[in-house]
Amino acid sequence: MALLPILHFPDPRLEKVAAPIEHVDDEVRRLAADMAETMYAAPGIGLAATQVDVHRQLIVIDTSEAQDQLITLINPRLTGQSAVTQEYEEGCLSVPGIYDTVERPAEVEVEALGLDGKPFRMKADGLLAVCIQHEMDHLQGIVFVDHLSRLKRNRIVSKLRKQQKVS
Ligand code: K1U
Ligand code: ZN
């Protein structure tokens, strides 16, 4: 297994739209394992392939306290969402040190392929619903700061560009 480098906003590669995975093979399972290792090491509760510069529809998530409930979603598709919304202060491994509130549907239903290549459905609420939507956004080239006002987003871009110049 290997730790993968994570792209940092505003890297334009974070704006790429991920392609569906046609075959769930050993290469995909290895990428999923490397992404899980990278997520746990960061530490984080989710990671999308886009963030490690692989533009394929693959997400890993673990929102459990003990970090022992890994969920892998391949080609995830939103099949339902609640009208009721929730606000959550989100963070992102690609936007280090920045946290801000995003409003999203409180409950979602998702269909995806598992590591065995078989389709499954899951319902989520609370933090898991937030994280699924945040990671699915990454696969569409959307970062959580894109949900903030233009003013806030521009301030974050300037701050991170300055930090990236000195580091
Ligand atoms: O997409 C990512 O970069 C992962 C991101 C997921 C996320 C967090 C919060 C709301 C929505 C989505 C993170 O994991 S940021 C780090 C983080 O939240 C965390 C780190 C250690 C322990 C607990 C949480
Ligand atoms: Zn993120």
- Return the domain boundaries, the chain: 12-166
45 alpha carbon, closest ligand: 1
| CA atoms within 13 Å, Cβ hemisphere of 25 | 4
90 lines ligand 1 (CB under 6 A): yes
Nearest to 69, CA basis, from 81, 60, 57, 58? 60
45 lines ligand 1 (CB under 6 A): yes
C-alpha distance from residue 78 to each of 20, 23, 55, 111, 132 (Å): 14, 20, 19, 6, 10
CATH class of the domain defined by 12-166 = alpha beta
pLDDT at 47: 99
Q: What is the pTM of this model?
A: 0.98
Pocket test for ligand 1, best of 92, 95, 143 (most atoms within 8 A of CB): 92
pLDDT, tens digit, for every residue of 79-128? 999 999 999 999 999 999 999 999 999 999 999 999 999 999 999 999 99
User: Which whole number is the average pLDDT over 43-65?
Assistant: 98
